[in-house]
Chains A and B, each alone.
Chain A
Amino acid sequence: MIRVKTKIFSQAIPDYFEVDLEEGSSVEILLNRVREGVARENRQAGSHKMAFLNHTHGLVVLLNGMSIYSLSGWTTRLRDGDEVSLLPMFAGG
């Protein structure tokens, strides 16, 4: 098993999840597991978060600070201790 820290920035203050996964699991598997976890939460609190997580094309997904698209996309394999951040598409500074 591996443990991956996940940060969800669907609102101003992020939510943190620690997710246990099988060795060799991908980012896509992680996202599905996170969705399952959010679905188990209070429905009202979870609805905005779920909409955020379901809008996959609008997500910025960083693995240890790197966009997954600079790695192997959704099939990028995770390792124990990795940190995944899920953010909206902010830009400009």
Chain B
Amino acid sequence: MRFAIAGKILHVDLSKEKIWTEPVPEEWIRKFIGSRGINAKILWETMKPGIDPLSPENTLIFGTGTLSGTFAPTSGRTTVTCKSPTTHLYLKTNVGGHWGTELKFAGYDYLVVQGAAKTPVYLWIDNGKVEIRDARHLWGKDVRETTSLLHEEVGDSATQVAVIGQGGENLVFFAAVMVSVYNAAARGGAGAVMGSKKLKAVAVRGQGSIKVADKKEFYRSCHVAIKNSYEDATAKFAHLYGTAGSVPMVNEARAFPAYNFRRGYIEGAEKIGGPYLAESKYLKRRLGCNACIFCCHRYCEIQEGRFAGCYTGGPEYETISALGSGCGSIDLEVVIKANELCNIYGLDTISAGNLIQWAMEGYEKKIFTEQQLGGLRLEWGNGEAIVELLRRIAHREGLGNILADGVKRAAEKIGCGSEKWAIQAKGLEQSRVETRAAFGYALAFAVNPRGPDHLHSETIAEFGTRPGGRRLIKKITGDEKYANPRLMEKRADIVRWHEDCFAATDSLGLCAFINTSRFGVDPQQMADMFSAAIGRRVSEEELMQAGRRILTLEKCFNVREGATRADDVLPWRLMNEPLESLARGQDVMKAVEGKADPAEFVPINSPAMLNRMLDEYYALHDWDLQTSWPYRDTLEKLDLKEVIPELESSGKIPRKK
């Protein structure tokens, strides 16, 4: 009897049309917890460096949380892992909904897909029975149509479906794997990897159950977690306003990217914010992922006017900034319509919005030919142009074909200095936080193995706006005064703690909103739930150490691919142009030396400032400062000896000086 997990890894080789299972090694649970952690282990073991991410040699892994399928609060998260076509580096992308739990109930913790089919297929996992089925009739259909057709085909509308739309089929570099229509494993192009394998969908029906080892203690620890979560001041707002609730506050904090990151503030942002949406005619329902206690997802409809008939999950905070303020728009209908298109084509809203903004700035600077534009008028805030460009991206038409390769490659192709307003690093389009207003975020974004975004280490606590966040900063640094986003001091400590915590949270299958944005559940409580579920005592320190082991393994994947310190940067604009809405003309070096008043700081992530934080961060991890690579004894101390031989043979274990 295995507690908390189903116990099996389901392998599918689409080239060989072979299906087999393996047990989940107990050792892997100890070292890598589950989901994201075990995915990283499988990716390391099954991949060779240097392969083309869109070739059959890429491995696509779906990993359920070790607590998924239990009633641990927010335990419905699943991690999808592969090598990213966008960055050619490590990619994990996390999704909610109910698909992962269904896979576990079907008897599998992990689905590992290798090879590629010759013609489109889908997987049908019906409890213990697994089939590779023809999907030629589904190819070319969007996410919604495909999901409905699959429900009809298997005769069960409760079947959970992970699916790609036209975005994934057409190998758009930021195509999402969509889950149950409204949830997306969106970042980094996992949908394109699925498309390259000609895998249209994975339909799952599971009617089993998951058992925990110590039922009484598990119930107790879960109830403590739920009680503490509801005591956090933001819990009710999460339900009432969703992530969109953050829009007014982030805008007031001058950290709400607008006009392609030229500004951190847009006038009238409240009209695309959560409270406004909640009072509007568009919001119809609030939804939750499996075992959620907040239900922060939205469901909206537009019943009349130019977008009549539109219905979609969302919009989330990131989508609102990417497809709204970033494009110079505060038109809620445009955001909802654009969100619908991304969901049915299967596109990452963050990257899609980023590309449209880049194109709008390019249009303003007249860098496109009439032929490239194909009649598009990409003025800031032009909602019709946003909607039409999304369609062209998904179908790779005209300018859309250039944008479909991501902003880094689009800027390389178009030139004209446009790489300076391509808001990307490592090739990934940055998510929607103004890092010039928050230095912890700046460091976290620069070192994130998948590229500049918030879901490896979101340091909300550094803003100092809430008591829970200030307590957390005190716990990490010893002093509440470091709850200040304009300080460089202690950012490395803050980022590393969040890295450990995020990795543990993702691997358990929990939602990051339970501990690093609501502060309700601390690592001790996660360790309590984990221990009771698996029947072996795991301390808070062991859990956080496992988180660090996971993060370090992810780092090692990138080291093996050739990444160095030079890759840990931020987008050019954010490192070279001060943020207008915060600029006060202070001396950059004064801020670097810590002599500037925090209220008078320089709103820029200068190379000098970033380098200082990087030095502190690498030193804290005990990684080599010059290359950013982990030392041998760092890997040994983390019980990651298995990666040493391969890194050593390619000269990537640095010598300690």
Does chain A have a CB within 8 A of B233? Answer: yes
* Shortest distance from the beta carbon of B582 to any chain A beta carbon, whole Å: 7
Are B237's CB and A88's CB within 8 A?
Answer: yes
Does chain B have a CB within 8 A of A87? Answer: yes
Partner pick for B270 among A14, A88, A91, A92, CB 8 A cutoff: A14
Are A69's CB and B275's CB within 8 A?
Answer: no
Does chain A have a CB within 8 A of B323? Answer: no
Partner pick for A93 among B250, B466, B518, CB 8 A cutoff: B250
* Shortest distance from the beta carbon of B487 to any chain A beta carbon, whole Å: 8
Q: Which of A5-13, A22-30, A34-42, A46-54 contacts B (4 or more CB under 8 A)?
A: A5-13
Give complex CA distance A65, B263 in Å: 13
Are A87's CB and B599's CB within 8 A?
Answer: no
Q: Which of B84-92, B139-147, B252-260, B627-635 contacts A (4 or more CB under 8 A)?
A: B252-260
Are A9's CB and B483's CB within 8 A?
Answer: no
Chain B residue with the shortest CB-CB distance to A87: B249
With A60-B466, A67-B464 as contacts: A9 and B248 at CB distance below 8 Å: yes
Are B252's CB and A69's CB within 8 A?
Answer: no
Are A69's CB and B518's CB within 8 A?
Answer: no
With A60-B249, A87-B248, A93-B316 as contacts: A71 and B270 at CB distance below 8 Å: no
Give complex CA distance A72, B517 in Å: 24
Does chain A have a CB within 8 A of B598? Answer: yes
Contact with A along B47-69 (1 / 0, CB 8 A): 00000000000000000000000
Give complex CA distance A60, B460 in Å: 13
Chain B residue with the shortest CB-CB distance to A55: B233
Residues in A whose Cβ lies below 8 Å from that of B252: 7, 9, 62, 65, 85, 87
Chain B residue with the shortest CB-CB distance to A69: B464
* Shortest distance from the beta carbon of A63 to any chain B beta carbon, whole Å: 8
Contact with B along A55-91 (1 / 0, CB 8 A): 0011010111111011100000000000001011111
Does chain A have a CB within 8 A of B357? Answer: no
Are B465's CB and A12's CB within 8 A?
Answer: no
Are A91's CB and B466's CB within 8 A?
Answer: yes
Q: Which of B239-247, B379-387, B417-425, B550-558 contacts A (4 or more CB under 8 A)?
A: B239-247
Does chain A have a CB within 8 A of B467? Answer: yes
Interface of chain B residues 303 through 337 with chain A (CB within 8 A): 316-318
* Shortest distance from the beta carbon of A87 to any chain B beta carbon, whole Å: 5
Partner pick for B234 among A9, A70, A91, CB 8 A cutoff: A91
Are A92's CB and B248's CB within 8 A?
Answer: no
With A64-B599, A66-B598, A90-B248 as contacts: A57 and B243 at CB distance below 8 Å: no
* Shortest distance from the beta carbon of B555 to any chain A beta carbon, whole Å: 25
Chain B residue with the shortest CB-CB distance to A72: B599
Give complex CA distance A5, B463 in Å: 22
Contact with A along B552-593 (1 / 0, CB 8 A): 000000000000000000000000000001100000000000
Contact with A along B443-470 (1 / 0, CB 8 A): 0000000000010000010011111001
Residues in B whose Cβ lies below 8 Å from that of A93: 243, 246, 250, 316-318, 432-433, 454, 517
Partner pick for B465 among A13, A67, A71, A92, CB 8 A cutoff: A67
Are B513's CB and A65's CB within 8 A?
Answer: no
* Shortest distance from the beta carbon of A11 to any chain B beta carbon, whole Å: 7
Chain B residue with the shortest CB-CB distance to A79: B599
Are A65's CB and B467's CB within 8 A?
Answer: no
Are B483's CB and A69's CB within 8 A?
Answer: yes
* Shortest distance from the beta carbon of B563 to any chain A beta carbon, whole Å: 27
- Which one of B464, B465, B582 has the greatest number of beta carbons of chain A within 10 Å? B465
Residues in B whose Cβ lies below 8 Å from that of A85: 252
Are A92's CB and B233's CB within 8 A?
Answer: no
Chain A residue with the shortest CB-CB distance to B463: A67
Does chain A have a CB within 8 A of B343? Answer: no
Are B249's CB and A65's CB within 8 A?
Answer: no
With A12-B276, A70-B486 as contacts: A65 and B582 at CB distance below 8 Å: yes
Are B248's CB and A69's CB within 8 A?
Answer: no
Does chain A have a CB within 8 A of B45? Answer: no
Are B241's CB and A90's CB within 8 A?
Answer: yes
* Shortest distance from the beta carbon of A31 to any chain B beta carbon, whole Å: 16
Chain B residue with the shortest CB-CB distance to A85: B252
Does chain A have a CB within 8 A of B614? Answer: no
Are A70's CB and B253's CB within 8 A?
Answer: no
Are A65's CB and B238's CB within 8 A?
Answer: no
Partner pick for B470 among A9, A13, A69, CB 8 A cutoff: A69
Give complex CA distance A9, B582 in Å: 21
Are B460's CB and A91's CB within 8 A?
Answer: yes
Partner pick for B246 among A13, A57, A71, A91, CB 8 A cutoff: A91
Give complex CA distance A91, B454 in Å: 13
Residues in B whose Cβ lies below 8 Å from that of A58: 233
Contact with A along B270-308 (1 / 0, CB 8 A): 110111101100000000000000001000000000000
* Shortest distance from the beta carbon of B184 to any chain A beta carbon, whole Å: 15
Are A90's CB and B274's CB within 8 A?
Answer: yes
Residues in B whose Cβ lies below 8 Å from that of A9: 248-249, 252, 270, 275
With A62-B252, A65-B254 as contacts: A92 and B317 at CB distance below 8 Å: yes
Give complex CA distance A65, B579 in Å: 13
Partner pick for B238 among A12, A63, A92, CB 8 A cutoff: A92
With A14-B270, A70-B486 as contacts: A89 and B250 at CB distance below 8 Å: no
Are B275's CB and A91's CB within 8 A?
Answer: no
Does chain A have a CB within 8 A of B206? Answer: no
Residues in A whose Cβ lies below 8 Å from that of B467: 57
Does chain A have a CB within 8 A of B484? Answer: yes
Residues in A whose Cβ lies below 8 Å from that of B186: none
Partner pick for A89 among B237, B271, B317, B437, CB 8 A cutoff: B237
Give complex CA distance A60, B467 in Å: 10
With A60-B249, A67-B464, A87-B248 as contacts: A92 and B276 at CB distance below 8 Å: no
With A13-B276, A60-B249 as contacts: A92 and B234 at CB distance below 8 Å: yes
Give complex CA distance A20, B318 in Å: 37
Give complex CA distance A5, B216 in Å: 55
Does chain A have a CB within 8 A of B485? Answer: yes
Residues in B whose Cβ lies below 8 Å from that of A89: 233-234, 237, 465-466
Are A92's CB and B486's CB within 8 A?
Answer: no
Q: List 11 A-B contacts (CB under 8 A).
A: A9-B248, A9-B249, A9-B270, A62-B249, A67-B253, A87-B252, A90-B249, A91-B246, A91-B466, A93-B317, A93-B454
The 4 closest A-B pairs by CB, nearest first: A93-B317, A65-B254, A70-B484, A85-B252
Q: Other than A89-B234, A93-B246, give 17 A-B pairs with Cβ distance below 8 A.
A: A9-B270, A57-B233, A60-B465, A60-B466, A63-B599, A64-B254, A65-B253, A67-B464, A67-B484, A69-B464, A69-B480, A85-B252, A90-B237, A90-B274, A92-B296, A92-B317, A92-B518
